[in-house]
Amino acid sequence: MIRLRFVIIIVALSFYAKAQEKPFELTDEWIQKISSTAPAQPEARPDAPRKVLIFDLHTGFKHWVIPHTSAVIKTLGERSGAYEAEITKDIFSLDSKNLKQYDAVVLNNNCSVNPRRNIFLDVLDKDESLSEKQKQKMAAKLEANLIKYVKKGGGLMVSHGGVTMQNTSMAFSELVGGSFDYHPPQQKLTLQLVEPDHPLVKAFDGKPFVHVDEPYLFNNAYVQKNFKPLLYIDTDELTGKKSPIEDNIRYVSWIKKHGKGRVFYVSPSHNAQSFEDERMLKFYLDGLQYALGDLECDDTPMLK
């Protein structure tokens, strides 16, 4: 029996190892490859120049794809002419005065330290000149700035681990549409289209998208389904789950209104290899154009 269990463990580890894409450094050659694959024209032509702020600081788990994702989003704007983008790791770039110059903010894999899950406090804790009360007040203000920015009409795109930035904050969860619960190990995932004819999944031409990724599962505001789902995974097909999941349909990308602003959440992708497919590039671009307010489409929440 012990030997059988050992064999099962070895086989499982071998399966997960094969399912993982190998990390690689960001290079000019790879960026050029992305540029040549990316859409040359945006789905919707902006009626004014658009400016995007990419926030890609992490204080907790480091996703190796962070610099690649920032480069992809920046390149998509340059190639299509849909927007220009700046990249920052400075939490104070989310000050309300600074945010006014941007049409949308992208949160790129901003994993914070577990279990507190507050990226602002993670940074402010290093400032010995601040009291604990000052840190708490400043962190709350920065989070409120971002939420208010979207409520007043700013756009927000959240990529993969960006959902964990303020993962224990219900206000942030309601902004994004959910909080990170956990994920089984990386594996081959089939992304299904909720509505194949929806404009924001046009990139997939009505067909599922198969790639290697972390299958994110969500909680908190996610249960309200106050969003328009775009992509889902069937959890019956997943291996490595903590326990059986009653609701086998789990959404991994959606759009939603938040006040006057628009939010696009996209769990794919954990690996830069997925961006080498023109379909994923177009999906990212179209979703960000929705957040910018340039691509009009049905964003009626599920529960409504």
Domain boundaries along the sequence of the chain: 24-292
Is 0.85 topped by the overall pTM? yes
pLDDT of residue 303: 82
CA 284 to chain centre: 10
* Residue 246 pLDDT class (50, 70, 90 cuts): confident
Residue 278 has pLDDT above 50, yes or no: yes
Note the CATH number of domain 24-292. Answer: 3.40.50.880
- Residues 242-261, mean pLDDT to the nearest whole number: 95
CB 294 within 8 A of CB 44: yes
Q: pLDDT digit string (tens) for 91-147?
A: 999 999 999 999 999 999 999 999 999 999 999 999 999 999 999 999 999 999 999
Q: Of 242-246, 253-257, 296-300, which range is least confident?
A: 242-246
Q: How far apart are CA 84 and CA 11, in angstroms?
A: 47
Cα separation of 249 and 245, whole Å? 9
pLDDT band at 20 (very low <50, low <70, confident <90, very high): confident
What distance lies between CA 294 and its chain's CA centroid? Answer: 19
